[in-house]
Every structure is written in C-alpha cells, then in structure tokens.
C-alpha cells in the first residue's frame, strides 16, 4: 500500500467517525454538520427570551441579558446531553437542547400577574419536579402515554397562535401595531421561510428560519423598524450575572410549573426517541431517557440563578439528526461551544434584541404550527379511536376553553389559587383532564375484537327474534 493510499484510507476512516458516538472526525467535516444545527435552532432559542422580555416591558439591557443567558443555558444542556458526565445527568445521546417555546404559554400567563423573580422560583420547583420525574421515570411513564402527551403538546401549539399573530401585527401596544407595514414585513418574512423550507435543500432548507429573518430585517429597515442604539452601549464580553433578580416562591406559580415540567419532559422523551430511532436504529434505554430528563431539570435550576428560561429538546434539530445520521458527540460539543460564544458577547445579543417583532412573528408562525402537528402525530400514533377522540377532544375543550374564557374561575367564593393555577393557562387544565380520562376510560379492544363485535351486532340485527 502506497503512502498516498494509506493516507486516503485513514482520512475515510476518520470521516466515518461522524456516524459513531466516539472518535474524533476531521474538523472540516464536523464544522458544517454543527453549524447547520446552529442555523436551524438559533432563532428558536432567542425568540422565547425576546417574548418574555416584552411581557415585562424590559429595557434594552435586560433584553440583552436574557438572550445572553438563553444561549449559555442552551450550551450547558446540549453539552450535558453529549457528555453525560455524571451517571444520572445527561443521556449521552445525539440531541440539541435549548430554550424552548414549550414553556412559553405558562410563563406568559404567570408573567401577567407575577414578577420575573416568581417565575425563576417556579423554575427551581419545576426543575426539581423534572429531576424526580426522570429518576422515577420507569414507575411514572404509564401515566403519560402518547394520547396524554400528544394532547398536551397540541394544546401548547394552539395556545401559542395568538402570540405569533400579535407579533406579526407589530406587537400589541406598539406604534406599529396593526399597521400595513407590520403585515408587509411579517408576510414577506413568512413567505421566504416557507419557500426555503419547502422548495430548497441543504443549508438553505435547514436554516430557513434564520435566512427568513435576515430577509425580514432587510425589508423592515426602510420602514424605520430597526433600532441598534443598544449595541454601542453593550459590552464586548461579559459573563452572565448571578441572581440578577431576587427569587420568589408563590404557590400558584410553583404548582403550575411543577405540572408543566413533566409534560415537557415527555416531549423530550419523544424527541430523543425519534432522534435515536432515526439515526442509530434503536430506541433509547430507560437510563438514557432518565438522564436526559434529569439534565433538563438540572439546567432549569441553573437557569433560575442566572435569570434565564427553561430548556427542552429542539424538535427542528431532530429532523437533521434523523436525516444525516451524524451522531458523533464532538459535533454536538461544537454546537454547544457556538451557543456559548454567542452568549458571552453581549453586543451580539444586543443586535438580536433589535429584531423587529413582525420579523419574529413571520419567521416563527410555522414553528408554532409544527408544535401542534407534532402533538397530532403523537396522539394518532395508534389510530384515532373513539377513546383517543374522547380524551383529546374533552381535554382540549377544558384547556383552551377555560383559558380563553378569562375569569371563569375567578367568581365570588372561588379560591384565588384555582384561578391562577388552572385558569391562567391552557396547559394545566388540559393535562389534568387528559391524565384523568386516560385512567378512567377502559382501554380500546384490539382490532380483531372490534371486527368480531361488529359482525355479531350485524348478525343480531338481521336475524329473526326467535333465532337471536
């Protein structure tokens, strides 16, 4: 074998490490694989932070801070999942974690009545709930079959629709609210994202939200929507602040998030399972799933002390993992490193806060739709039986109905905590009702029993009475 042939064989062998968890592939192979994950998830990570900042009417510096922490937390959770440095923390599986839309409806609802410090206190309680759920997953998993989890995820997606439309319209209460220029920018942004995600391939397709936002920003400039005044005042490099807001523990917030966290943990299980099945042709083991959930809970507690938002698995990245089957842990370490670097340079965070709200709405309205469809796929996994239809339909009515009928649980004599915990968001009543109905309703008989029962009923209907 010549030296040139040996070198080529060695290079090919190193390239193959991309498709194994261990080994070190060439940086030229790892970098594009990692950057496409960053492109696919970057906008989705920063948008929940921007939305929560708008709920509290924060200053530009506060918006910059929460975006900075969102990126750093995404880096921490992704790295924990890749390395699984402790036996029970991290799944050691191919997955990208980040600040997620999944928690947004509950956080928005709580933010309307409580301080941000209260949300952070609730994140600690929710993180503990996630850790306990992960540790005892093998004993609790029967409470959360696909019909329950899918119903909750569907409700999360639908309850986010008003948020998307309000952003497309310019942001309620802003000078550009409902103006033609807001809708022009939003619809052009949406059209670009839609075209790139459906009619292109490669990086353009995977980074459709990112590139759509770039176009939207350029379109918004002539309308005077861009304001980069905060960039100059932002520091070049800064570490996240420790406890920037005092922690508060309100029972209503803590109970609500303690209910929401296990629901989102089930979504993590679904995303991790889909990534593993698509890339390494096996379902994750119970210990791996347990570690993935525990890592999410640990990151949430860290988030509370840094003034950030909770993380979850990023569904858009699951599709990338399943399609290219690149699972090497060092690829995901690079993803985490890029997130961390972006979070440590506040000027970059300040630039991101200047993104106009119509751009965010136009770029992410499809993401909200994807969350809803993921829920539908989950609860129809084994068919849309009468039992499934009853659980989903009834739970969604309670969830969205109570949430939309503002004040329906706040009448005279009704305890305040019930209105806050159950009536302030769609997720909690939906989850409670789905769990109860799933436990109460008898299981659906196998298909052959359905057929036999149908035949028996048909025969009984046509036979004379004396032969029945």
Written as one string, the DSSP assignment of 110-175 is HHTTS-HHHHHHHHHHHHHHHHHHHHTHHHHGGGS-HHHHHHHHHHHHHHTHHHHHHHHTT-TTST
Looking at residue 218, what is its pLDDT? 94
Q: Is there a domain that residue 414 lies in?
A: no
Looking at residue 109, what is its pLDDT? 83
* Count: domains in the chain: 1
CA atoms of 72 and 79, how far apart (whole Å): 11
Q: Is there a domain that residue 432 lies in?
A: no
- Give CA separation, 85 vs 7, 89, 92, 295, 303, in Å: 34, 7, 9, 10, 19
- Give CA separation, 433 vs 73, 130, 144, 148, 177, in Å: 32, 20, 12, 9, 36
- Exposure string (b/e) for 350-360, b if CB count within 10 Å is 16 or more? bbbbbbbbbbb
Q: Is there a domain that residue 3 lies in?
A: no
Q: Dihedral sign, CA of 143, 284, 158, 108? A: positive
- Give CA separation, 113 vs 131, 225, 271, 354, 402, in Å: 27, 29, 32, 26, 17
Domain with 111 in it: 15-381
Q: Is there a domain that residue 331 lies in?
A: yes
The residues with which 312 forms a beta bridge, in sequence order, are 98
User: Angle at CA 109, nearest 5°, toward 354 and 112?
Assistant: 70
Instruction: Specify burial of residue 323 (Cβ count, 10 A radius: 0-12, 13-18, 19+).
Output: exposed
Q: Specify whether the backbone of 413 is left (phi greater than 0), alpha (psi in -120 to 50) or beta.
A: left
CA atoms of 262 and 143, how far apart (whole Å): 11
What the block records as the tokens of 1 is: 């074998």
Q: Is there a domain that residue 287 lies in?
A: yes
> Count of residues for the chain?
468
How confident is the prediction along the chain (468 residues), in pLDDT tens digits per residue?
A: 555 544 444 444 666 888 888 888 888 888 888 887 887 787 778 889 988 998 999 988 898 899 999 999 999 999 999 988 777 899 998 899 999 887 888 898 889 889 999 999 999 999 999 999 999 988 887 887 889 888 888 888 888 888 889 889 998 888 999 999 999 999 999 999 899 888 988 767 767 878 888 899 999 999 999 888 777 777 788 889 999 999 999 998 999 899 888 878 877 887 888 788 778 888 788 899 999 999 999 999 999 999 999 999 887 677 678 767 888 999 999 999 989 998 998 887 777 777 888 998 898 788 778 778 878 888 898 789 999 999 999 999 999 999 888 789 888 888 777 777 777 778 888 988 999 999 999 987 765 555 555 455 455 544 555 544
- Give CA separation, 457 vs 320, 448, 451, 461, 468, in Å: 49, 14, 10, 6, 11
Q: Is there a domain that residue 259 lies in?
A: yes
Q: Are 36 and 207 in contact (CB under 8 A)?
A: yes
Interacting residues of 266 by C-beta distance below 8 A, sequence separation 6+: 144, 148, 149, 152
User: Angle at CA 283, nearest 5°, toward 141 and 329?
Assistant: 115
CA atoms of 354 and 127, how far apart (whole Å): 31
Q: Are 326 and 154 in contact (CB under 8 A)?
A: no
Residue 99 phi/psi, 5° resolution? -55, 130
Q: Is there a domain that residue 183 lies in?
A: yes
Three-state secondary structure call for residue 100: coil
Looking at residue 152, what is its pLDDT? 84
Q: Is there a domain that residue 458 lies in?
A: no
- Residue with token string 């920018």: 185
What the block records as the tokens of 293 is: 């959930």
CB atoms inside a 10 Å sphere around CB 12: 9
Looking at residue 370, what is its pLDDT? 76
Looking at residue 192, what is its pLDDT? 94
CA atoms of 267 and 8, how far apart (whole Å): 43
Residue 89 phi/psi, 5° resolution? -115, 115
CA atoms of 387 and 373, how far apart (whole Å): 20
Q: Dihedral sign, CA of 371, 194, 364, 39? A: positive
Q: Are 166 and 361 in contact (CB under 8 A)?
A: yes
Looking at residue 72, what is its pLDDT? 95
Q: Are 150 and 443 in contact (CB under 8 A)?
A: no
């Amino acid at each position: 074998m010549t030296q040139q042939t040996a070198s080529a064989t060695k290079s090919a062998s190193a390239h193959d490490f991309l498709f194994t968890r261990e080994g070190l592939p060439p940086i030229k192979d790892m970098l594009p694989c990692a950057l496409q994950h960053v492109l696919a998830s970057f906008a989705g990570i920063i948008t929940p932070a921007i939305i929560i900042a708008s709920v509290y009417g924060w200053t530009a510096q506060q918006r910059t801070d929460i975006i900075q922490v969102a990126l750093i937390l995404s880096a921490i959770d992704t790295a924990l999942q890749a390395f699984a440095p402790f036996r029970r923390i991290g799944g050691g599986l191919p997955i990208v974690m980040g600040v997620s839309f999944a928690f947004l409806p509950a956080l928005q609802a709580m933010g309307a009545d409580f301080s941000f410090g209260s949300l952070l206190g609730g994140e600690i309680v929710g993180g503990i709930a996630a850790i306990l759920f992960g540790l005892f997953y093998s004993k609790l998993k029967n409470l959360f079959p696909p019909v329950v989890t899918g119903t909750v995820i569907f409700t999360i997606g639908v309850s986010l629709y008003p948020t998307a439309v309000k952003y497309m319209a310019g942001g309620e209460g802003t000078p550009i609210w409902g103006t033609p220029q807001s809708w022009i920018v939003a619809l052009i942004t949406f059209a670009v994202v839609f075209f790139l995600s459906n009619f292109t391939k490669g990086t353009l397709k995977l980074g459709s939200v990112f590139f759509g936002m770039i176009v939207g920003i350029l379109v918004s400039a002539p309308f005077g929507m861009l304001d980069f005044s905060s960039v100059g005042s932002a520091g070049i490099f800064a570490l996240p602040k420790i406890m920037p807001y005092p922690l508060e523990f309100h029972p209503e917030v803590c109970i609500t998030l303690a209910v929401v966290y296990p629901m989102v943990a089930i979504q993590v299980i679904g995303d991790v399972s889909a990534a593993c099945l698509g890339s390494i042709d096996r379902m994750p083991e119970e210990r791996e799933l347990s570690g993935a959930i525990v890592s999410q809970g640990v990151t949430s507690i860290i988030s509370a002390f840094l003034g950030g938002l909770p993380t979850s698995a990023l569904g858009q990245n699951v599709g990338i993992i399943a399609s290219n089957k690149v699972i090497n842990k060092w690829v995901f370490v690079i993803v985490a490193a890029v997130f961390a670097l972006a979070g440590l340079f506040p000027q970059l965070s300040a630039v991101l806060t200047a993104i106009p709200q119509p751009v965010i709405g136009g770029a992410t309205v499809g993401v909200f739709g994807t969350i809803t469809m993921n829920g539908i796929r989950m609860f129809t996994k084994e068919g849309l039986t009468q039992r499934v239809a009853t659980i989903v339909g009834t739970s969604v009515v309670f969830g969205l109905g109570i949430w939309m009928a503002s004040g329906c649980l706040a009448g005279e004599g009704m305890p305040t905590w019930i209105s806050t915990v159950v009536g302030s968001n769609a997720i909690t009543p939906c989850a409670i009702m789905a769990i109860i109905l799933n436990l109460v309703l008898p299981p659906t008989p196998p298909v052959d029993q359905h057929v036999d029962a149908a035949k028996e009923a048909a025969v009984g209907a046509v036979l004379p009475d004396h032969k029945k």
